[in-house]
Chain A
Amino acid sequence: MIEPVRGLRISVEVNGESHERDVEVRRLLVHFIRDDLSLTGTHVGCDTGNCGACTVIVDGVAVKSCMMLAVQADGSKIETVEGLARNGELHPLQQAFSSFHALQCGYCTPGMLMSAKHLLDNNPEPTDGEITRAIQGNICRCTGYVNIVEAIAAAAKGEVK
């Protein structure tokens, strides 16, 4: 009988920093990011890929990191919320979320920001409809989304105080 492979060594680049780790093959990417790399900004809100709190960007693609195994990310470049601010300066999206009160409890915010960043990386001048569609995979239970859409639109237009 062939023993199943239980662990693998993977290497990933997260927010520009290289990491090499042994991981169980069944470990979800989100638990790898949170528990192994201690990047706890990425959150878990459901078990089914519905809520988007765990959204990160993997090789330029917005991914729900609870829907991907850590071993599948081997060799990839990952962006998480911790990589948005640079040298103490908030990313325009982060500043916009604050200015427009687009967050209350802040639990969905990291995933929402990463979906928004993915949108603006690929479509710098989105319409409100495009913004709404871009965050439809991210659930927020606090805000009703009104201010989130406004914040992303303002960040895209560079209208953030």
Chain B
Amino acid sequence: MSETTVTPDKPITVDEQEVAPGFIGQNTPRKEDRRLVQGEGVFVDDVRRHGMAYVHFVRSPYAHAAITRIDVSKATELDGVYGTLIGEEVAAETDPFFQIAPPPGGDLKDYALAVGRVRHVGEPVVAVAAATRELARDAAELVEVDYEPLEVVLDMERASDSATTQLHDEVPNNTIWQGNFDYGDYDAALAEADKVVRIKRLHFHRFSSTPLETSGAMVEYNRGTGQWTIHSNNQFPGFAIIMMAPALKVGMDKLRFVSQDIGGGFGNKICTHPQLVAMCLMARKLKRAVNWTEWRTDQHTANSHGNERLFLDVEVPVRSDGTMLGFKARMIDDCGAYTRYEPLGCIIWAQVTPGCYRWRNVRVDFSQVCTNKSPCGPNRGYSRMQHLWFTERIIDIVAQQLEIDPVEIRKRNYIRAEEMPYETPNGCVYDSGDYARCLDEALKLVDYPSIEQKRADAKSRGKLLGVGIGSTLDSGTNNFGQSTLVNPELQFSGNNEVATVKLDIFGEIVVTLGTTPQGQSHETTAAQVVAGILKVSPDDVNVRAGHDSYWNSHAGFSGTYASQFAVTGLGAVKGATDMLAGQILQIGAAVLGAESTDEVELDGGFVKRKDNPEAALPFMACGAIVNANNAVLPLELREITLNCRYVYVPPHQMPDKERKFGNLTLTYATQIHACVVEVDPETGVYEIVDYGAVDDCGVRINPQIVEGQVQGATAQAIGAATHEIFTYDEDGNLLTPNFYDYHVPHALDMPPLKTAYVESPSPFTPLGAKGMGEGGGAGLSAVASALQDALRGSGGPIVSDSSNPYNTVWDLLRKPEVSRELVEVEER
């Protein structure tokens, strides 16, 4: 078997680069705030046009049914109704959406509206457009659709049985994708083990971040040019355009994506392309602007859910001292009724194959099935969160079975700081981090040495106290080349992001980004980087709000997703600003009579001669000369534009498709959380009484913003662990279609939350920073871990589900033997 410690033969490094001085690391006030606190942001439903129609979707009441008849005549007779759109029209006017999966999974047909068959409750069947929101809803009520119900497939474990009904005629056994992953030498590890811990079944539940602003769009069609302008809150226009242009049979440039403020995204606003295509068709058909604003119920029933995953027949070879040698498992992922961004979830987890641990031998049989539930898609921590929760469950279950302290067993198995950069068994390179130190800091936050005393105190009050740890990695700046590991025919790889920085006639510094921020403060942090390089104040830097794919700052992967702005977005900003600084120095040197740019410098909005700071050229003059007075310039300087575009491209390489081996992402931020719970053994009701979150995302550009992301991500994880679940009845009806039934954390639900930071700069990124917005998953693990610890003396149940509402805990208390039977230990 392979060695425990592996350092790559050729460590990937980038050239030593100067870290931008000035404003990095400062809590610069947010540029976005002034408009947002005054209600002057522009969200998608705020965009209006004269004569605009409001669209309402008629949605399927069945989880699985054939559509036998659609009659819109009563709806269109209503005064003020402009028109409708049905599946047959969509099928005639568009091609099915491009599929990421190889055949046969990739042969399924997915359109903007249901064509012939519905496959989940809430699936859009007919679009109705009318003069007001209320009227569109009235008219939708008058649309008649006849259905013939079909057998409903909800059980992801049985979906692939040959006897199960197929959702898509083209997809045998409802299996979208299947693949085997084999790293190290699992058989040798098994032979060498002193004990083997087997876990029959672990389950990661279905939920989503449910952004408070639902999805929406305002779409206009320009008949003269055949071009659509799509004002939307889609958070990954690069992907949406790639999906939509071929479906609409037009060139990419016919789709202009515009957004300003977006009310939260968390990945859930990536896969809105079906509704956006329906809107494009409506705008063209009705010859008027159309607005669609999703209802909350629609977001819950038909927008992206996070992937549900089963981990079956898990096997963990262990040495007597608790050193784990790897794991074997069969994993089944449920993507819901359509694939959309899937089956990328089948590979994204592999960015963090061994989690935080020195596990060298891994064997995974991974498959993804479709079921009659809402389609899945990226959700904060996409696919990695599920897998990292699995690795943390392994740790705690093994610790419990072997009676080893959970802190000790983590430290024994953690990858060590001195091993960084660390190559994982599947070729990913963890850039930097110190997991043991982060754990120590997290334990300090919850005053770990006092835990036994607190446990005794809780016991005296009739409560069971438990402490748990969650360790996760937020992998960011992904290498789209990993898509070729699910489909070797795909022509996607690498990553990119664009920024432009210009100096205008009146000396105004203007920045455009290719990103679509949803609260991540891109205007602010971009201004910090620009100001540091140009030696001005962030107040002097005008970062355009939002995104417009017609700006020259749009690239194939533009958008805001996958924890990458601090690397790709700011990498582009830095690159463009460095170019602009060089050009300003050239103009300054020429005007100030310097021999070379070495003799001048930037200072406070001027180019100054180093030997005589009185000889200074204001930026305004630079901008005016180049843009409006350029005949005064010598010919050799006429190529200077002061309008600089830079595409940041990370140093990714193609992975090995055969071995499914390679570096799948550039950076790995660390999160180690510690959670303390008190459980009422009579009811299963529990309270999180203390919580510590430690984050290491390398260089923090703006610590206050980083802390905000940590707090928010943690709150989402705690909500998901305790209450949030998308659950269905036996007919496939979603039981949690609103904020009554789907309980997200309110202010009163939040535990005391303490944070701390470790900074391990990334050696691979322009600013030493790492993406870090998705790091809350540790909370799911920490809560599960704390509950298992609290219930140790109550029959020792195993927490085998990521969803742990009070009734689940009550079940664990009442019948601990049920979950205990999931685990067995083979002594060698």
Are the C-beta atoms of B521 and A104 separated by less than 8 Å?
yes
Residues of A within 8 A of B296 (CB): 45-48, 51
Question: Of B518, B739, B740, B750, which is in contact with the most chain A CB atoms at under 10 Å from its CB?
Answer: B739
Residues of A within 8 A of B740 (CB): 48, 50
| Cα distance A158–B398 in the bound complex, in angstroms | 53
Are the C-beta atoms of A143 and B213 separated by less than 8 Å?
no
Q: Does B113 touch A at the CB level, under 8 Å?
A: no
Are the C-beta atoms of A51 and B518 separated by less than 8 Å?
no
| Cα distance A16–B211 in the bound complex, in angstroms | 33
Residues of A within 8 A of B520 (CB): 104
Residues of A within 8 A of B30 (CB): 98, 101
Within 8 A of B (CB), among A85-100: 85, 90, 94-95, 97-99
Interface segment, B11-19, B443-451, B452-460, B711-719? Answer: B711-719
Residues of A within 8 A of B214 (CB): 45
| Cα distance A41–B46 in the bound complex, in angstroms | 9
Residues of B within 8 A of A82 (CB): 38-40
Which of A38, A105, A141, A149 has a CB less than 8 Å from the CB of B716?
A141
Q: Does A19 touch B at the CB level, under 8 Å?
A: no
Which of B33, B210, B518 has a CB less than 8 Å from the CB of A103?
B33
Chain B 730-754, CB-CB to A under 8 Å as 1, else 0, gives 0000000011100011111010010
Residues of B within 8 A of A26 (CB): 134
Within 8 A of B (CB), among A105-143: 105-110, 113, 132-133, 135-143
Q: Does A57 touch B at the CB level, under 8 Å?
A: no
Q: Does B540 touch A at the CB level, under 8 Å?
A: no
Q: What distance in Å separates the Cβ of A123 from its nearest Cβ neighbour in chain B? A: 16
Interface size on B, residues (CB 8 A): 58
Are the C-beta atoms of B747 and A90 separated by less than 8 Å?
no
Q: Does B43 touch A at the CB level, under 8 Å?
A: yes
A105-B518 contact, Cβ under 8 Å, with A41-B38, A42-B39, A146-B753: yes
Interface segment, B161-169, B220-228, B257-265, B571-579? Answer: B257-265
Chain A 16-60, CB-CB to B under 8 Å as 1, else 0, gives 000000001011000100110011111111111011010000000
A40-B46 contact, Cβ under 8 Å, with A90-B38, A141-B264: yes
Residues of B within 8 A of A27 (CB): 134
Residues of B within 8 A of A12 (CB): none
Q: Does B29 touch A at the CB level, under 8 Å?
A: yes
Residues of A within 8 A of B266 (CB): 141
Question: Of A51, A53, A106, A133, which is in contact with the most chain B CB atoms at under 10 Å from its CB?
Answer: A106
Residues of A within 8 A of B521 (CB): 104
Which of A94, A105, A138 has a CB less than 8 Å from the CB of B263?
A105
Are the C-beta atoms of A106 and B36 separated by less than 8 Å?
yes
Residue of A nearest to B776 (CB): A144
Chain A 139-155, CB-CB to B under 8 Å as 1, else 0, gives 11111111111000000
Residues of B within 8 A of A90 (CB): 34, 37-38
Residues of A within 8 A of B599 (CB): none
Q: What distance in Å separates the Cβ of A109 from its nearest Cβ neighbour in chain B? A: 6
Q: Does B133 touch A at the CB level, under 8 Å?
A: yes
Are the C-beta atoms of A144 and B711 separated by less than 8 Å?
yes
Residue of B nearest to A50 (CB): B739
A97-B33 contact, Cβ under 8 Å, with A141-B716, A146-B753: yes
Are the C-beta atoms of B261 and A105 separated by less than 8 Å?
yes
Q: What distance in Å separates the Cβ of A8 from its nearest Cβ neighbour in chain B? A: 15
Are the C-beta atoms of B747 and A132 separated by less than 8 Å?
yes
Residue of B nearest to A110 (CB): B39
Q: Does B45 touch A at the CB level, under 8 Å?
A: yes
A94-B38 contact, Cβ under 8 Å, with A139-B212, A148-B747: yes
Within 8 A of A (CB), among B490-522: 518-521
| Cα distance A143–B214 in the bound complex, in angstroms | 17
A48-B712 contact, Cβ under 8 Å, with A27-B134, A101-B705, A105-B263: no
Which of A41, A44, A135, A138 has a CB less than 8 Å from the CB of B39?
A41
Q: What distance in Å separates the Cβ of B338 from its nearest Cβ neighbour in chain A? A: 24
Which of B36, B42, B295 has a CB less than 8 Å from the CB of A109?
B36
| Cα distance A132–B133 in the bound complex, in angstroms | 34
Which of B45, B209, B519, B738 has a CB less than 8 Å from the CB of A46?
B738
Q: Does B8 touch A at the CB level, under 8 Å?
A: no
Residue of B nearest to A42 (CB): B39
A53-B212 contact, Cβ under 8 Å, with A47-B738, A109-B36: yes
Residues of B within 8 A of A113 (CB): 37
Which of A38, A135, A142 has a CB less than 8 Å from the CB of B747?
A135
| Cα distance A101–B28 in the bound complex, in angstroms | 11
Q: Does B593 touch A at the CB level, under 8 Å?
A: no
Q: Does B684 touch A at the CB level, under 8 Å?
A: no
Residue of B nearest to A95 (CB): B37
| Cα distance A27–B293 in the bound complex, in angstroms | 17
| Cα distance A39–B40 in the bound complex, in angstroms | 9
Q: Does A65 touch B at the CB level, under 8 Å?
A: no
Which of B32, B40, B712 has a CB less than 8 Å from the CB of A143?
B712
Residues of B within 8 A of A138 (CB): 746-747
Are the C-beta atoms of A106 and B263 separated by less than 8 Å?
yes
Q: What distance in Å separates the Cβ of B519 from its nearest Cβ neighbour in chain A? A: 3
Q: Does B603 touch A at the CB level, under 8 Å?
A: no
Residues of B within 8 A of A80 (CB): 39
Q: Does A84 touch B at the CB level, under 8 Å?
A: yes
**What are 9 of the A-B contact pairs (CB < 8 Å)?**
A41-B41, A50-B740, A51-B739, A104-B519, A107-B41, A136-B748, A141-B712, A143-B708, A145-B747
Show the binding face of A for B, using Cβ within 8 Å.
Answer: 24, 26-27, 31, 34-35, 38-48, 50-51, 53, 80-82, 84-85, 90, 94-95, 97-99, 101, 103-110, 113, 132-133, 135-149
Show the binding face of B for A, using Cβ within 8 Å.
Answer: 29-30, 32-34, 36-43, 45-46, 48, 132-134, 209-214, 261-264, 266, 293, 295-297, 518-521, 704-705, 707-709, 711-712, 714-716, 738-740, 744-748, 750, 753
8 further interface pairs, Cβ-Cβ under 8 Å (given A50-B739, A101-B704): A38-B48, A45-B214, A47-B295, A53-B212, A141-B211, A141-B212, A141-B716, A143-B715
**Which 3 pairs of residues, A with B, have the shortest CB-CB distance?**
A41-B39, A107-B263, A106-B36
